Homo-oligomer: A and B are copies of this chain.
Amino acid sequence: MTDTPATAAETFPIERLREFSTRVFAACGVPEEDAALAAGVLASADLRGIDTHGVARLPQYHEMFEQGRINPRPNIHAVRESPATATVDGDNGLGLVVGPRANEMAMEKAERVGTGWVAVRNSNHFGAGEYYPLQGLPRGLIVWAMTNSPPQVAPLWGAEKMLGTNPISIAFPGMEEPAVVIDFTTSAIAFGKVEHAARKGATIPAGTAIDRDGRMTTDPREMLDGGALLPLGGDAEHGGHKGYCLAAMVDLLAAALPGANWGPFPPPFPAHLPEPPRSVGLGVGHMFGAFRIDAFADPAEFRRQVDDWVRTMRSTRPAAGTTGPIIPGDPNRRAEETRREHGVPVIRPVVEALERVAAATGVPFR
């Protein structure tokens, strides 16, 4: 998920970025505790090299608050609940608050009864997916997080955006080896890569996007001009039906089940995206699932197995011209090591956007 900044960057200590975000959320009317929680989700992404989901998003959240599209003081509450399950209504609160609260419920349920599943409606963008499973690791929990999102992806053989990039995240703790941290969108390519290629006048890989008539294109501008991303796999002969199935699975579980807007209908984020043609539920949806490891296995033995799995995958004979497989989560862990020590590089356009947020809110950025 790491994207090396293409332009000049200024470096900030993570605590500075976290504090700025906390104070901006507070200035938007978010209670202190929630503001700190939300800022922590952004800071986690910044630390771990997911530059698209960290402080760079703060201006978009700020804009959503400015337009009254997010409720700063939501009454987040369960509308159905049992010891192992719940459906939560986020009351149109910040996804960076609704997500962590619902995930906490799922984790507490798992701690009490072995597994906990919490479906969420009436939320919005919940930040980087890996944040949620990372919370489970120190508690001996395997946490699974899914969310739907505004439409960017065409179903196989479709010519328009009907599904979000609908990410899936899950993590498994090792004993001596670092955790396996899985976090991926179910589209063939990230929308950010298409935007990046368009800015640079570059092409995108064949089989990752279509134009407005549903024809494959390598021209990012054709995707942006009424086209769509393809689901993971691309076309039918490369398994595009599987990516479509994955996006559908997330959409039906994380949005249709709790009563959120599914398919092409989630509300826009950022605010300048087009309004959907109709509403079929409340906000966007998430699904959090947690497993207490000792409900299934001896935790120490399982962690040793994860260590063995990690070492086994690393010892795979490398493909010609590569240094061999990495482990899911490696790039983010390395980014975290570097950035804890040396700070977080923030590219110039993001610094400028944050300065505008500082001016608008009166929260000093420097």
Binding site for B on A (CB under 8 A): 80, 82-85, 87, 113-115, 117, 119, 142, 154-160, 162, 168, 170, 172, 180, 182-189, 205, 207-208, 210, 213-215, 232-234, 237-239, 241-246, 248-249, 251-253, 256-259, 262-264, 280-281, 291, 293-297, 301-302, 305-306, 308-309, 312-313, 316-320, 322-326, 328
A-B contact sample (4 more), CB < 8 A, given A114-B117, A232-B233: A85-B291, A154-B325, A159-B319, A172-B256
Contact A159 B318 (CB under 8 A): yes
The answer to whether A239 and B324 touch (CB under 8 A), given A113-B83, A215-B319, A253-B142, is: no
A322 touches B188 (CB 8 A): no
Check A170 against B249 for contact (C-beta < 8 Å).
yes
Residue of B nearest to A280 (CB): B308
Residue in B84, B182, B306, B313 whose CB lies within 8 Å of A115: B84
Complex contact B237–A205 (CB within 8 A): yes
Are B323 and A80 in contact, with the CB atoms below 8 A? no
A-B contact pairs, 7 of them (CB 8 A): A80-B296, A82-B295, A114-B117, A159-B318, A189-B238, A215-B320, A244-B325
> How far is B235's CA from A32's CA once the two chains are assembled, in angstroms?
45
Contact A319 B213 (CB under 8 A): yes
A226 to B326, CA, bound (A): 21
Of the candidates B172, B256, B305, the one whose C-beta lies within 8 Å of that of A305 is B256
CB pair A182–B245 under 8 Å, yes or no, is yes
Q: A256-B305, A319-B213 are in contact. Are A84 and B87 (CB under 8 A)?
A: no
Q: Which residue of chain B has its CB nearest to the CB of A183?
A: B245
CB atoms of B324 and A242 under 8 A apart: no
Please measure, in the bound complex, the distance between the C-alpha atom of A257 and the C-alpha atom of B170, giving whole angstroms: 14
CB-nearest residue of chain B to A322? B157
Q: How far is the CA of A183 from the CA of B249 in the complex (A)?
A: 10
Q: Are A158 and B325 in contact, with the CB atoms below 8 A? A: yes
- How far apart are A79's CB and chain B's nearest CB, in angstroms? 9
A264: chain B residues at CB < 8 Å are 312
Whether B158 lies near A257 (C-beta < 8 A) is no
A328 CB contacts on chain B under 8 angstroms: 241, 244-245, 248
The minimal Cβ–Cβ distance linking A78 to chain B, given in whole angstroms, is: 11
Q: Which residues of B contact A262 (CB under 8 A)?
A: 305, 309
CA distance A253 to B180 in the complex (A): 12
Centre residue among A83, A188, A214, A319 by max chain B CB count within 10 A? A319
Of the candidates A210, A249, A258, A262, the one having the most CB atoms from chain B within 10 angstroms of its own CB is A249
CA distance A312 to B308 in the complex (A): 45
Q: Which residues of B contact A322 (CB under 8 A)?
A: 157, 214
Minimum Cβ distance to chain B for residue A286 (Å): 12
Chain B residue contacts of A256, Cβ below 8 A: 172, 302, 305-306, 309
- Knowing A80-B296, A213-B320, A257-B302, the reply to whether A232 touches B237 (Cβ < 8 A) is no
Cβ contact within 8 Å between B232 and A263 = no
Contacts of A207 in B (CB 8 A): 207, 238
Q: How far is the CA of A159 from the CA of B315 in the complex (A)?
A: 11
On chain B, the residues within 8 Å of A84 by CB distance are: 83-84, 113-115
Query: Contacting A316 at CB < 8 Å: which of B160, B253, B291, B320?
Result: B160
Contacts of A82 in B (CB 8 A): 113-114, 295
B184 A242 Cβ-Cβ under 8 A: yes
* Residue among A158, A168, A185, A281 with the highest chain B CB neighbour number at 10 A: A158
Q: State A214–B295 Cα separation when bound (angstroms).
A: 39
